Amino acid sequence: MAKAFLTYRKFQNSDQASELVELLNQNGIPFEIEDSSGSVSDFIIGQDVHANFAVKIDPDHFLKVDELSDALAASLIDTIGKDHYLYEFENDELIEVLSEPDKWCEVDKQLAKKILVGRGITVSKELEEALHKKRLKDLSAEVEGSSVWTTLGYISAFLGGLLGIAIGLNLWISKRTLPNGTKTYVYTERDRKHGQVITILGIVMLCFGIYFQIRFNFF
């Protein structure tokens, strides 16, 4: 069975994604486009609702696309003049660009490296790998869900509301895709257990509600 495509990168609109889409087409890499604007799950989870245009690819292709993107960016940086805003960055700010590659385009990452080297700062492969590992660790850290949403989830589930089930499922099974294509849970184990209980409670109460409605209507 073919692997499900995962989000490789998100953009605010299709125009911003056009360069990546062109790169994928040129190299024969299958992809999918997903526009999740207005998604209720994003609102509940608290993700960036402004970056809802997602380009999805096979997770096995993540590293390959990274290499292709970096190679393309490296061929373009020599055409960039010193009036580019990154030349105004301090060294620690440029290191931050390299340490958060998922927040910056490939050209910015390559240019930041070039500027640092020009300032006499060595950017070794070992340093980049260390920054990459730290970033993956930071991004994979589980977060605590909102106590307000959890409480609302229990109340709504007890009353047989679908909102309670939706909140429960989000707490229970929500995952994020890391830059290397792996997926990790968004919420802590404690919150996931709350989500499981809320979901089951919501389904049970909803079934009871439907049962009594049918019974009342028939009798």
Q: Are residues 124 and 171 in the same domain?
A: no
**Which of 92, 112, 140 is a domain's end point?**
140
Last residue of a domain, one of 140, 163, 191: 140
Per-residue pLDDT, 78:
82
Residues 190 and 207 in one domain: yes
What's the pLDDT at 182?
A: 82
> For residue 20, what are the contacts with CB-CB under 8 A and spacing of at least 6?
8, 9, 11, 55, 69
Same domain, 10 and 48: yes
Q: Give the pLDDT confidence score for residue 51 in this predicted structure.
A: 61
Q: Is 101 part of a structural domain of the chain? A: yes
Residues 134 and 154 in one domain: no
Beta bridge partners of 176: 184
Provide the pLDDT for residue 92: 92
d(Cα 43, Cα 163) in Å, to the nearest integer?
Answer: 13
Question: Does one domain contain both 209 and 184?
Answer: yes
The number of distinct structural domains making up the chain is 3
pLDDT for 46 equals 44
Q: Domain of 129?
A: 80-140
- Determine the pLDDT at residue 38: 52
Cβ-defined contacts of 199-202 (< 8 Å, 24+)? 199/157, 199/165, 199/168, 199/169, 199/172, 200/168, 201/154, 201/157, 201/158, 201/164, 201/168, 202/153, 202/156, 202/157, 202/160, 202/161, 202/162, 202/164, 202/165, 202/168
Asked if 125 and 172 sit in the same domain, the reply is: no
Residues 98 and 133 in one domain: yes
pLDDT value, residue 45? 43
Supply φ then ψ for residue 55, to 5 degrees.
Answer: -105, 120
pLDDT lower than 70: segments of the chain: 1-3, 36-51, 218-219
Decide if 32 is inside a domain: yes
Phi, psi of 143 (to 5 degrees): -110, 160
In terms of residues, how long is the chain?
Answer: 219
Residue 65 forms part of a structural domain = no
